[in-house]
Amino acid sequence: MVLVGRSWLLAVVAFLYLPIAVMIAMAFNASSLYALPIKPSLQWFVALAGDAPLLTATRNSLAIALFTSIVATLVGTLASIALSRQAFRGRSLLKALLLPPIAIPWLITGTAMLVFFFWTGIGRGLHAMMIGHVALAIPYVVLVVGTGMEAVRVDLEEAAMSLGSTPVHAFVAVTMPLLAPSIVAAGLFAFAVSLDQFVVSYFLSTPGVSTLPVEIYSSIRKGFTPEINAISAIFFGVSTLLVLLFAQLSNLGGNRGRR
Amino acid sequence: MVGVDVVSIVKDYGPARVLDGVSAAFEPGRFTSLLGPSGSGKTTLLRIIAGFVTPNAGTVSFGGVDVTGEPVWKRNVGMVFQSYALFPHMSVRDNIRFGLDRRGVRGEVANREVNRVLELVHLEGFDQRRPKELSGGQQQRVALARAIVTKPRVLLLDEPLSALDRRLRQGMQVELRRIQRESGLTTIFVTHDQEEALTLSDEVAILDRGRIVQHGSPTDIYERPRTRFAASFLGDANFFTGQVNAGAIEIGPYRLSTQDSLPAQGSAVTFAVRPEKMNFQAPRDGARPMNRFGATLREIIYAGATSTFLLADDSGSELKVFLQNRDMAWPSIGARVELSWSPSDTILVSE
Ligand SMILES: Nc1ncnc2c1ncn2[C@@H]1O[C@H](COP(=O)(O)OP(=O)(O)O)[C@@H](O)[C@H]1O
Ligand SMILES: [Mg+2]
């Protein structure tokens, strides 16, 4: 039984990682025709440095992801706090409305944004992508911070107030430190959501202004070069790091709050 | 050390009246238990006294000063929560120092105060631990230390022992009482455990559906319950209903007397008799007139030092008798017996 379980798991993992492993291996192969055996070389990474459109797109992607991460985390965190600590009319409706966007296909969200931005005059470009990504990332932040908030029991704040804290001080001294890992995790998640976003970015990009995924896509259409493998390998590395950090932090937050 | 007075407190949650005109005086330095079943409004009353909840009507005062409008952080209360609510990201020392810091007490002075209460709760040497590195009983004591280090005007505890297992709980009851005596704090303790209320308290206030139905010393409430609810919630009781006739209570062929004053001739009355006040035969001296009542023995539950006897009266209602296992000369099951008890243990209760 144990053996079957393990080989099954190995097969699943191989299925998940094999294409990526091949891609990464080829990024380090001198041959552009995927010839074996692999002749180790960094030439494709070096070539990246000279690819101006790709570098610009990378800079755009990072700028959008950073902006998205900061703004979505701020807005989403405040929303989570309001949802879990304040009693007001329509709260459960608002709470229910914050999550479905996660399940809406990006194609639909992207189309809606494109139409809406055109109609309102916001148009396309860097600013449009920033707004779009923030909107995409907020539900994830609400989800992550909301879960963290559940773990910080209300009676901790009440205990602080019984000891002389105003509600604001209780929040700053007790809730914030306990919530911090969740907030950082949400920020990372928002960053990753933005960095990996293709559909919405594709719709909102203009010929001069695109993001890394969009740029990769268009260069594939122009003709595949192993440079793509190199940039994708880097991309994969960064994304994996973010997700691992996220997993670490959200786990930490959970353990701490639970006591 | 001040007293706490609540006057005519009313609290509604939507259409539900949770507290219905509660008035009570908590004397300075006394330990009072608020005892009642789940949902009777104990926590709500405690949270109104603390200042977490604003009553719809009525006033709360500390030492004669009205504090109804003051928020909890200005009231200077010490509160121990059922879940302890220790700050998980702070050491034991920082948890205890929190309230001192809020009052501007810092540095060496604060450290001395922390050490003083750590000694009081027997937790010297644990000050650098995180709460999760402590056992339930130790967390409990940290919560208590944190609540009393600021010398609050009143100490409020909401079922603080209910998360502990039985043995630890009994140990903590003794500790809690000792700490309360040594600190001299006016204490209000919420519990639904009648035994806990009886053993710990100077006074017990019984809550039933948002009202205090009786408030007095444990012996007072146990020996002289005023309502059927108080009699049955605090300890066991046998209830009888009969009619007043010529200064006694008539139930079928039996005439029972009481030392309580009876209502008008012909009224229906209910009285309670504690199971340990009853016996199977009248005392040998026979000088005092005893109440007698016939019943059939149904079951004997032997428990070492004592036995519980379950009986049925002529109408089939169950009666209970507790006896010490001194001579073991019990009637056999199914036997017809005559119960006897003193008129002074015949307590009139209202329904
Ligand atoms: N915040 C609240 N909102 C609505 N109902 C409440 C609230 N707090 C308490 N209640 C209701 O008030 C009643 C008394 O509750 P509580 O004071 O917690 O009782 P106890 O502590 O004696 O178990 C219960 O019926 C409870 O459902
Ligand atoms: Mg309660």
Instruction: Give the angle subtended at the CA of A106 by the CAs of A105 and A108, to the nearest 5°.
Output: 70
Q: How far is B220 from chain A (nearest CA, A)?
A: 33
User: How far is residue B301 from each of residues B308, B312, B318, B335, measured CA to CA in Å?
Assistant: 5, 15, 14, 16
Contacts with A220 (C-beta within 8 Å, 6 or more apart), sequence order: A228
Element (H, E) at A76: helix A52-85
Which of A157, A162, A165 is the best mutation test for B, with the most CBs of B within 10 A? A162
| Cα–Cα dist B216/B95, whole Å | 36
Residue range A51-258 forms a domain whose CATH class is mainly alpha
The CA-atom distances, in angstroms, between A79 and each of A72, A88, A98, A175, B281 are: 10, 13, 9, 15, 73
- At B286 the pLDDT is 61
Rounded Cα distance between A218 and A222, Å, is: 6
Spell out the domain ranges in chain A: 1-41, 51-258
The angle subtended at Cα B17 by Cα B16 and Cα B19, nearest 5°, is 145
Residues A155-201 have pLDDT tens digits of 999 999 999 999 999 999 999 999 988 899 899 889 988 988 888 88
Q: Place A150 in a pLDDT band, splitting at 50, 70 and 90.
A: confident
Phi, psi of A144 (to 5 degrees): -70, -50
Identify the segments of chain B with pLDDT beneath 70. 282-288
Best mean pLDDT range from A47-51, A90-94, B56-60: B56-60
Q: What is the DSSP letter of B293?
A: E
Q: Is the pLDDT assigned to residue A254 strictly greater than 50?
A: no
CA nearest ligand 1 atom 7, residue: B13
Residue A259: what pLDDT? 35
Three-class DSSP category at A77: helix
pLDDT (0 to 100) of residue B326: 85
Ligand 1 contact, B13 CB (< 6 A) = yes
Average pLDDT on A1-5 reads 65
In this prediction, residue B166 carries a pLDDT of 81
What average pLDDT does range A75-99 have in this prediction?
82
pLDDT band at A257 (very low <50, low <70, confident <90, very high): very low
- Euclidean distance between CA atoms B256 and B250, whole angstroms: 6
User: C-alpha angle with apex A83: A77 to A89, nearest 5 degrees?
Assistant: 145
Closest approach atom of ligand 1 to CA B46 = 17
Assess A85–B contact: CB distance below 8 Å, yes or no: no
pLDDT of res. A256: 44
ipTM (interface pTM)? 0.84
Q: Which residues of A touch B150 (CB under 8 A)?
A: 163-164
pLDDT of B311? 95
pLDDT tens digits for A192-249? 889 888 888 888 888 888 888 888 888 888 777 777 888 888 888 888 888 888 788 7
Residues of B with CB under 8 A from a CB of A: 50, 52, 71-73, 76-79, 81, 83, 85-89, 98-99, 102-103, 131-132, 146-147, 150
Q: How far apart (Å, rounded) are the C-alpha atoms in residues B74 and A166?
A: 9
pLDDT of residue A233: 86
How many CB pairs below 8 Å do chains A and B form together?
60
Report which of residues B200 and A253 the model is more confident about.
B200
Q: What is the residue-averaged pLDDT of chain A?
A: 83
